């Protein structure tokens, strides 16, 4: 375990490193490039800076790069990784390989306090916020880090409930001195905290996905506690009115559950809610967890919703489900965590 009195470089920007190391900004950017692009975990192996600077940095800081504790591989090729930071908090990350894109799904919290009943992360309980460094580490410490093209903040936790660290992580991921990933390849998902969404839209250029569940306020309030304080209609109106920059996407995630939110009435409600907007609908299969009597809508029903939305002028797609057999699919993260792991060395 590193000296807890030392600072973690992972999660810092060049200005913070410049202040910590009392060096010039060009040297600080050399350090961030070595950290975020080259994934150098040992300060003494950083190239392009003086020996004296490396020695001083080694005395006051460590990189903070942590390898995954364990992993599970799905039959579809996706891989779920377990991370444990020095607090210690445990959280899960999923690598999703593809033909044209390789995506990492990162967590922003250990657990979640939003309390949505169909999400296992909420049942795991809230254990703590992840730092910007913890979030970035999930990207740069994967074995597949070198081939990643996309990052989605759709793992454990509610990003708007840890917004400062999420915005900072997005900045590091997109900055030239950082990971240099295109903003249009980074997507942040939320169940809705209006003030957080306003700040995110203002201070980040990355994509946003809002999890809806139902177009009807009363139904959503009964299932998603955040609806009581942050009404979906208010958030969608905010998304509709926000001036979009080139290629930035604002989307709705709609998890379809058989006999609950997949009726023709719900379909018409979606059409009315999203008519005359640039907001896209991502239709998702519901994933059951143990002791759950809810069932996913049929593939035919998802196709029907997509067809009807598109023909009515609402952009829609069906998002492919991945990693269900290892509890890595949407809504299932934390299903594999056990309390005894939290207390292990």
Residues designated as active site? 92, 330
CA-nearest of 165, 201, 154 to 330 is: 154
CB contact at 8 A, 212 and 254: yes
Give the Cα separation of 35 and 48 in Å (integer): 12
- Say which residues have a Cβ less than 8 Å from residue 344's Cβ, sequence separation at least 6: none
Give the Cα separation of 137 and 168 in Å (integer): 13
Q: What is the DSSP letter of 253?
A: E
Give me the count of residues in the chain.
345
Number of other CB atoms surrounding residue 30 within 10 Å: 20
**How many alpha carbons lie under 13 Å from residue 316 in its C-beta half-sphere?**
23
Give the Cα separation of 130 and 111 in Å (integer): 10
């Amino acid at each position: 375990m590193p000296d807890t009195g030392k600072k973690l470089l992972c999660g810092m920007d060049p200005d913070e490193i410049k202040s910590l190391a009392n060096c010039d900004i060009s040297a600080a950017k050399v350090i961030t490039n070595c950290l975020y692009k080259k994934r150098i975990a040992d300060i003494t192996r950083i190239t392009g800076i003086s020996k004296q600077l490396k020695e001083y940095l080694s005395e006051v800081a460590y990189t903070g790069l942590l390898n995954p504790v364990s992993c599970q591989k799905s039959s579809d090729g996706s891989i779920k990784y377990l991370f444990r930071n020095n607090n210690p908090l445990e959280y899960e990350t999923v690598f999703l390989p593809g033909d044209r894109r390789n995506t990492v799904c990162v967590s922003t919290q250990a657990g979640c306090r939003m309390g949505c009943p169909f999400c296992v992360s909420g049942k795991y309980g809230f254990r703590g916020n992840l730092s910007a460094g913890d979030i970035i580490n999930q990207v740069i410490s994967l074995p597949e880090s070198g081939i990643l093209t996309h990052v989605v903040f759709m793992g454990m936790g509610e990003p708007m409930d840890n917004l400062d660290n999420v915005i900072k992580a997005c900045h590091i991921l997109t900055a030239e001195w950082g990971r240099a990933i295109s903003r249009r390849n980074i997507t942040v998902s939320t169940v809705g905290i209006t003030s957080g969404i306003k700040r995110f839209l203002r201070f980040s250029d990355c994509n946003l996905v809002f999890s809806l569940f139902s177009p009807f306020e009363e139904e959503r309030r009964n299932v998603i506690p955040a609806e009581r304080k942050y009404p979906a209609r208010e958030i969608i109106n905010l998304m509709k009115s926000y001036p979009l920059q080139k290629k930035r996407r604002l989307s709705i995630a709609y998890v379809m559950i058989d006999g609950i939110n997949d009726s023709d009435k719900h379909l018409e409600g979606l059409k009315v809610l999203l008519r005359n907007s640039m907001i896209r609908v991502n239709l998702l299969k519901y994933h059951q967890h143990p002791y759950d009597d809810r069932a996913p809508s049929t593939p035919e029903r998802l196709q029907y919703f997509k067809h009807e939305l598109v023909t009515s002028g609402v952009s829609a797609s069906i998002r492919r489900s991945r990693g269900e057999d290892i509890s890595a699919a949407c809504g299932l993260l934390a299903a594999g965590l056990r309390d005894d792991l939290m207390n292990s060395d």
